[in-house]
Structure 1
């Protein structure tokens, strides 16, 4: 059990490190976050400054599948700080410094401590988006229709949670009537949607490769079924009754015989010459 948990933790760390590497060298994302969204994440304990990385603290213990009679193994949260290289660390602080200078230039009367925290928040938020690009709920959406259905379902659950009347039979022909996502004050789902759309060509290529492999598998299954049918046609199952209720079930193989041929000598002998 402990080995399985250790493997899962190492996998989570590797995926987080991959998201860190992508975010450190990303030039396409336009992260737009505000101090209000940072305050909201801190209030919801989504961004815990006492833990590093602050966004990736798992409050749920991973002991659901451990027997109460066993000693609970300590659970760890995914962290790239244990495996980060020197170059990645330097690049991280370089981005934080660039963001901090940009914040100080735009806002003159901001508290320096708040500015430093907000600079770290922007970089950590960017890393989180790349981390969730492969692990988020949008990774299950194959196309735009799936994403619209997901948004529709989330808004329906949001209305139910807030005790709003819900029409179960209402269907929107053009997808969900809402353009945004529920409870998305920090616009995280909006950024995830943009990254999902940007990854569409790679996702379409991956789907085509999977379909090609599946076609090969189906062709092999078809050949196996044909061979099985030929084998079944070449055999016959008979029941030999021995005595009373005793019987023997045997499978006999049909053997195709050609026309009998006789050598000339035997043909003359059989004719009486």
Structure 2
């Protein structure tokens, strides 16, 4: 049998697309900071409009968090935040209740007296030390200087309506506590501040922090209650390791003493005891939202797989068009060459 192929493949009529260079821009520190503050502002709005959370807090927990440094009403944010390490205010006498959410009138009075903005009514950051801290990230050489990084705050994006809503929430919690016959009013520093008022701020700030952690914690990865149990079991094991580590003092580190390690362990346990209960309750109430997100993710994934299948089929068709050849099959019959068939390869 004789085979006579057409050696020259048919050229494709489709023109190759021109190569274009795409430049990818890496997000700057300011972009990352702005994204974090937008997330914080969304969390704040969610917490201020929430009507389903029921908190069971005590003044003992507030005093414990104040003593341990977990909660500081003069700090922005007042609780130790997930996005960045919190910092203490360096201003003397700036220990009033939740200064960063004060109303515009109190802000104007503060400006006239101290000529310096603080908290959420700060429009411009004049003092860089208040907004920045040393970046002690991993992988920094001992020979290089650490750079400064800015701390995300509620102050930059909070709206006047959110400030008003915050103060309204504090007033409602304060009035509700007085109606329930809580502990009598105790003066802390002056006639304007009392423990009941501070406790009202603490409850509202705690609620905001609860919604913030609901967006950022590992609990958001749990699909069902079995995942929650496994996560809690892992946290118990880590807590036991932290308790054991608290008794070990690294004398080579001048900032680590038996007092600081014990305080860190106390802070961790005190922070997680009641907070875990509230966080799990909020997670359970959001099961409809989680199911809706799962269904949406499955729908998007099905669309992606269908698009990938179409692209693979189109690519295979283009390759067949570019590398197509004709092959003719011949045979000899009675001394003559006779073509049997013609094939497209």
1:45 — aligned with what?
Answer: 69
Using structure 2 for the length normalisation, give the TM-score: 0.56
User: Residues of 2 paired with 1:134 and 1:148: CA distance?
Assistant: 19
Task: Encode CA deviations 1:21-48: one digit per residue, 9 max, x unaligned.
Answer: 1111111111111111112222332112
User: Residues of 1 paired with 2:233 and 2:279: CA distance?
Assistant: 16
2:286 — aligned with what?
Answer: 199
What root-mean-square deviation, in Å, do the aligned CA atoms of Structure 1 and Structure 2 show? 3.4
Task: Encode CA deviations 1:178-225: one digit per residue, 9 max, x unaligned.
Answer: xxx965555112111111111111111111111122122223334444
2:238 — aligned with what?
Answer: 157
User: Residues of 1 paired with 2:212 and 2:286: CA distance?
Assistant: 14
Matched, 1:143 2:233: no
> Which of 106, 131, 148 is the matching residue for 1:73?
148
2:338 — aligned with what?
Answer: none
5+ residue gaps, structure 1, are 164-180, 236-250, 260-273
Task: Encode CA deviations 1:217-269: one digit per residue, 9 max, x unaligned.
Answer: 2233344445666777x59xxxxxxxxxxxxxxx964336699xxxxxxxxxx
Matched, 1:132 2:156: no
| 8 A Cα contact 1:155 1:182, kept in partner | no
User: Residues of 2 paired with 1:85 and 1:228: CA distance?
Assistant: 52
User: Residues of 1 paired with 2:237 and 2:284: CA distance?
Assistant: 24
User: Residues of 2 paired with 1:257 and 1:205: CA distance?
Assistant: 60
User: Residues of 2 paired with 1:18 and 1:257: CA distance?
Assistant: 71
Question: Mean Cα displacement is larger for which, 109-118 or 18-27?
Answer: 109-118
Q: How many residues end up aligned between the 2 structures?
A: 226
Matched, 1:62 2:143: no
**1:116 Cα shift?**
1.5
User: Residues of 2 paired with 1:203 and 1:162: CA distance?
Assistant: 34
Using structure 1 for the length normalisation, give the TM-score: 0.70
Residues 227, 31 of structure 1: alpha-carbon distance in 2 compared, 3 angstrom cutoff: same
5+ residue gaps, structure 2, are 1-24, 87-132, 188-193, 245-267, 331-345
After superposition, where does 1:114-125 map in structure 2 within 5 Å? 114-125=195-206
User: Residues of 2 paired with 1:221 and 1:9: CA distance?
Assistant: 35
After superposition, where does 1:221-236 map in structure 2 within 5 Å? 221-226=308-313
Asked which structure has the greater RCO (Cα within 8 Å, sep 6+), the reply is 2
| 8 A Cα contact 1:33 1:186, kept in partner | no
User: Residues of 2 paired with 1:230 and 1:2: CA distance?
Assistant: 37
After superposition, where does 1:5-20 map in structure 2 within 5 Å? 5-20=29-44
DSSP-derived class of the 1:36 partner: helix
